[in-house]
Amino acid sequence: MSKENEMRATGNLNRKSSAESMDQEMREQIEKRAYEIYEARGAEPGHELEDWVRAESEMMQQTKLHRAA
């Protein structure tokens, strides 16, 4: 493999690793927020999907606001 191709491959791996890390961070933030919503609702089971969707929506909104700033 030429030095140029090797550098491209390494760059692609670093970008992929960085994106995967960001995805994992976002998932963890959503999970944490969904649990906070669950607790705030009195820890009543049966609303897991609603809690997750609400948390995901909040995180996405924060991300949009952060990017706009």
Tell me, yes or no, if the pTM score tops 0.75. Answer: no
Confidence class for position 63, pLDDT limits 50, 70, 90: confident
pLDDT digit string, tens, across residues 28-42: 999 999 999 999 999
| Per-residue model confidence (pLDDT) at position 13 | 55
Which residues, other chains included, contact 60 with Cβ-Cβ below 8 Å and sequence gap of 6+? none
Domain ranges of the chain: 3-68
Tokens 């924060």, residue? 62
Taking 90 as the threshold, does the pLDDT of residue 10 lie above it?
no
In the chain, the N- to C-terminal Cα span, in Å, equals: 42
| Per-residue model confidence (pLDDT) at position 55 | 97
Q: 2: phi > 0 → left, psi -120 to 50 → alpha, else beta; which? A: beta
Taking 90 as the threshold, does the pLDDT of residue 51 lie above it?
yes
Token output for 13 = 């791996």
